[in-house]
A and B are shown apart, each in its own frame.
Chain A
Amino acid sequence: MAVTVEQVWQEAVRALAFVRVLTEDEVQADADGCGGDLVIKSKDAEVVISLVEEALGGDPLVDISQLSRRELTSLRTLTDLLIRRWGELHGAAA
């Protein structure tokens, strides 16, 4: 299974839409208005990671104690990290 950055971003948007009880379009529009990224709360990042991991097959991808504040508060940075870890785990380039 190949996973693209765009697919993981979509899963992250879907997850954040769930947390905030918004539509995916609303979240994506917010991100578009913020230059393609969104500031999120670190508590919300935990839910996003959980849902993205679930969508990517269920393997644990990150230990949040090792994440930087930026990785926990920027949806784009978090997405990049998740796909990188997924690639490392599955020996596949993103």
Chain B
Amino acid sequence: MKAISAENLSVAWLDAVDHLLTTPKGKDVNLVVAFRGIDEDPAIRPLVDAFLGDRSARRSEAVYPIETVASTLFPESWYVPERAAQPRDHLYRCFELAQRVHKRVSGEEETYFGRLVSYPGPNGERVNQLEEQVTRLQGQLRTAAPKSSAYEIGVVEPADLRLQVPGRDRLYMGFPCLSHISLTLHGGAIHLAALYRNQGFLRKGYGNYVGLARLGRFFATELGVAVGEIACVASHADAELDVGTKAGLRQLVSDCRDALGSAAPACEVDRAA
């Protein structure tokens, strides 16, 4: 087990890849990566995306940009709280409309966000976990508010978002790599802990962190609280040397470290507008 804690998601990802580059074949188990809030160093994503684009051009298999990976978990462009009268309803409606078209993609009947808002229940019913958890946590906040006004009493309310469907997800490889997200309301902030049964750090890791940060921002907006800590546990962590090569990844990490802080100070992860 290795635990990494960093001040923002960009540095967390760099530290994780650095660690994996010291392990045999770039792989490890139970890699825990945590970052505070939803800040990102704006210089890093373009470098990682450029590297991914270069690798994509060399492979027959698609290598997706960070934005695409992040949107599979939380398509933030459909969540417009500053303009929509019912922003959550708008988000869910856009998802329904998109699914009509998305289902035509061969082999990709389901998405991570689909599991969040349309999880297959045991009797065939569809469960909107996102809505249930927002409603539940809002209820808890209403109860706790009077107490916290005098003394900052932590309200600990665990909640779960399931992505893996027991008995149905039987693939050794592929969807879903993200099994579970736990939400904890504590100290006036919402904290997320995500469990990946397998996490590819080159092709998915950075996008996973951006997606989780945006999901955290969604809950924070709906609950009127801050985003606390976001932690990811990769039961199996893979630097994906077969895609990036050890030398290539070392150079990427080195370039990114040189660029840290060069564009602007770390700031809140951009909105997918």
List residues of A whose CB falls within 8 A of some B CB.
Answer: 19-22, 41-44, 46-47, 49-51, 53, 60, 62-65
Q: Contact check, A49 vs B101: say whether CB atoms are below 8 A apart.
A: yes
Contacts of B84 in A (CB 8 A): 21
CA–CA, A90 to B68, complex, Å?
34
> Cβ of B98 and Cβ of A43 under 8 Å apart?
yes
A19-B100 contact in complex given A41-B272, A43-B71, A63-B105, C-beta closer than 8 Å: no
Report the separation of the CA atoms of residues A43 and B272 in the bound assembly, to the nearest whole angstrom.
Answer: 11
CB pair A65–B90 under 8 Å, yes or no, is no
The prevalent SS among residues of A at the interface is helix
Residues of B within 8 A of A (CB): 67-68, 71, 75, 77-78, 80, 83-84, 90, 94, 97-98, 100-102, 104-106, 272
Contact assessment for B75 and A43 in the assembled complex, using a CB-CB cutoff below 8 Å? yes
Contact flag A60-B104 (CB < 8 Å), given A41-B272, A43-B77, A44-B77? yes
How many contacting A-B pairs (Cβ < 8 A)? 52
Given contacts A20-B80, A41-B77, A41-B272, contact A47 B104 (CB under 8 A): no
* A41 touching B71, Cβ below 8 Å: yes
CB-based nearest B residue for A60 = B104
**Neighbour of A64 across the interface among B94, B104, B272, CB < 8 A:** B104
A78–B94 Cα distance when bound, in Å, is 18
Q: Known contacts A21-B80, A21-B90; is A50 also within 8 Å of B104 by CB?
A: no
Closest Cβ of chain A: how far from B89's Cβ, in Å?
Answer: 11
Q: In the bound complex, do residue B94 and residue A63 qualify as a contact, i.e. CB atoms below 8 Å apart?
A: no
A50 in contact with B80 given A41-B272, A43-B71, A63-B105 (CB within 8 Å): no
